[in-house]
Amino acid sequence: RSTLYAVYDFFERQAGCRWFWDGDVVPKKSVIEMDGLDVSEAPRFHYRGIRYFAHRSLDRFQAEHWGPDQWEQEIDWVLKKRLNLFMLRIGMDDLFQKAFPETVPYPPADAPLPEAVARSYDDRTSAWPLQYRGELRKRVLRYARARGLMHPEDTGTMTHWYSRTPNAFLEKARPAFVPQAGGAYRGNPTGAVWDIRDDQNLDNYWKLTQAHIDAYGAPDLFHTIGLAERTVFTNRADNLEMKLYAYRRIVAKLREHYPAAPLLIASWDFYYPGWPGHEVAELLKLLSPENTIIFDYTSDLPQMHRSSDFTQWGVAGRFPWMFGIFHAYEWENDLRGNYDLIQERLPLAAADPLCKGFVYWPENSHSDSLMLEFFTKNAWRPDTFTPEALLPDFCRDRYRAAAEPMLAAWRAALPLIKLHAELPPDFRRLANHAQRAVTAERAAALRTECERLSPHLNGVPDLLAKLQALPVFAGDARVDRDALDLARTAAGRLFSLVLKRHAVAQGEWQQGKADAAAVKAAGARCAAVLTALRDLLALHDDFSMNASMDKLQAIHPVNPCFEQALKGNAENGYCRSYIYELFNDYYLKQLALYVEWA
């Protein structure tokens, strides 16, 4: 990899080339100076990686939609940005068929997956036949490995939402399941964890791991999520003991086969359902620092429920770990980032010699070009801790002739971008909003919240003017894409604010402090902003499921049932986002019912 890094670095330094996920910037030059160079660099972090996740809706954001050409472009970009690790979390493809060929047949290529729950989050029907997906996985991983990229092998409790157990296996093997008192996937055995207190279940999990190594991978690096997203027992001590037992079993099984290979222990379960710091400390006592790394890809998240962060685990200076930016969830494909927490925590990671890596672990790929540049720059040399510090160079490199107006637009938008927690995309959950009673207490709380947020939105008129001045649709695809990202993010934030103000108006009307006309006007403002957001998304194929379906068809023939699966994957409550087709048929209709004055 170092030779590749050096070649790309040379063209950056000497020719002004820049590398972005959606294409390279290569200036025309008649001469490239070849002498006067004596450069030696080394990264701060040994591991520098990125994840690709398993949701389906829009081609730009969902790696499961990508064909071989897109993957090769992506892997080339990963190398150009001097990363060395990537991970496919896009389901297991045909691992069950390879591990248990006598038990699990390939599903039909022209029918729903036998385990599918129609028009839902739980329909994992593949666009392409699993045989083709296996061929694609082999090609992608071979291409990556030939360029020196590491890809962790999943091990342990691998059945999950995106890694369903086929009905054929359940019917033949009849595995018992780990008890589950809370968390996700209850009631659906295809997403349940087999009880690894039973040796046969643990052995069958290992067969999946070994099948991937044999068909696609290499036993150089491993990864486990343990019993993530599940509360086993309501008693906290019993729950912890079961989770520690699961890790002991998973590690022991791995060491039977690969005694020295590094194992990444994912932090997701520490965040959800959540482990207090002292519980993580108990886990560390069971693990060897010689070949185990705490894989904290939730380092940038605020604490919730029982969750904790790396500063409370006792890893700093004591146990190998990695720092990570989560940048999820599926519904959040707008511009955002927990930049304040990153600014606080990343310097701690950079200063700790036992912090071995920096990873970016989103549920949406390519959702935020600024965040991608922020991550890749700091993964090599962590010295730019705020987006404000990065923006001048980012805009100069990405937009060239349009750098000045784009920089002005980004700077004007940053206050809104940073309000992603306070003003989430509420258009996706209008039914939930409508079902909440507008009591006097709620109206007062929302009024206070709106008053607190209003100063942060004083710059919106200036932002809109700067967006209007941008040279969109003038031949620069990066300007077009990022201008729309800025505009849709601003519109999404504004809609959430005017929706809160509508509830305030309802409360004031109920208390006799406002008339019906004020409530109707507040509802009309909501409809105007949401309609404007729809019209913005109509300007670019990035936000069209129909365009995404066309791209899938162009790569390989698509299962005729996949359209319904795609709609179900996109329209469910978890995955609804900035998808053009959902506006006319969901969001605007729901809003009309909510604001209608009987």
**How many domains is the chain partitioned into structurally?**
2
pLDDT, residue 185, reads: 80
Residue 566 lies in a domain: no
Q: What confidence tens digit (pLDDT) does each residue in 328-366 have?
A: 899 999 999 999 999 999 999 999 999 999 999 999 999
Same domain, yes or no, for 83 and 213? yes
Same domain, yes or no, for 61 and 193? yes
598: pLDDT strictly greater than 70: no
Residue 486 lies in a domain: yes
Same domain, yes or no, for 473 and 368? no
Residue 60 lies in a domain: yes
3-state SS assignment for residue 356: strand
Decide which of 353, 385, 417 is a domain's last residue.
Answer: 385
- Give the single-character DSSP code of 538: T
Residue type, 593: L
Same domain, yes or no, for 210 and 359? yes
Same domain, yes or no, for 335 and 410? no
Q: Model pTM?
A: 0.97
Q: What confidence tens digit (pLDDT) does each residue in 208-243 have?
A: 999 999 999 999 999 999 999 999 999 999 999 999
Same domain, yes or no, for 378 and 405? no
370: pLDDT strictly greater than 70: yes
3-state SS assignment for residue 340: helix
Instruction: Provide the pLDDT confidence category of residue 588 given band limits of 50, 70 and 90.
Output: very high
Q: How many residues does the chain have?
A: 598
Residue 568 lies in a domain: no
Same domain, yes or no, for 375 and 403? no
User: Average pLDDT in the 179-203 region?
Assistant: 92
Q: How many CB atoms lie within 10 A of CB 584?
A: 11
pLDDT, residue 7, reads: 95
Q: What is the largest CA-CA distance in the chain?
A: 79
pLDDT, residue 461, reads: 94
Same domain, yes or no, for 374 and 402? no
Same domain, yes or no, for 482 and 436? yes
**Sequential DSSP letters for 79-105:** HHTT--EEEEES--TTHHHHH-TTT-P
Give the DSSP H/E element, type plus range, for residue 480. Answer: helix 477-510
Scanning the structure block, which residue is given the tokens 């079902």? 435
305: pLDDT strictly greater than 90: no
Decide which of 385, 417, 442 is a domain's last residue.
Answer: 385
Residue 27 lies in a domain: no
Q: What confidence tens digit (pLDDT) does each residue in 16-62 have?
A: 999 999 999 999 999 999 888 899 999 999 999 999 999 999 999 99
Same domain, yes or no, for 480 and 585? yes
pLDDT, residue 308, reads: 86
Residue 29 lies in a domain: no
Scanning the structure block, which residue is given the tokens 């194992």? 263
Domain limits for position 356: 43-385
Residue 5 lies in a domain: no
Give the DSSP H/E element, type plus range, for residue 305. Answer: none
Decide which of 355, 385, 415 is a domain's last residue.
Answer: 385
Same domain, yes or no, for 401 and 381? no
Instruction: Provide the pLDDT confidence category of residue 91 given band limits of 50, 70 and 90.
Output: confident
Contact of 361 with 326, CB cutoff 8 Å = yes
162: pLDDT strictly greater than 90: no
Residue 565 lies in a domain: no
Whichever domain contains 262, its CATH number is 3.20.20.80
pLDDT, residue 68, reads: 98
Beta strand 23-25 with 18-20 is antiparallel
Q: What confidence tens digit (pLDDT) does each residue in 514-552 have?
A: 999 999 999 999 999 999 999 999 999 999 999 999 999
Mean of pLDDT over the chain: 96
The HSE-up count of residue 594 (CA atoms within 13 Å, CB side) is 27
Q: What confidence tens digit (pLDDT) does each residue in 422-459 have?
A: 999 999 999 999 999 999 999 999 999 999 999 998 99
304: pLDDT strictly greater than 90: no
Same domain, yes or no, for 423 and 381? no
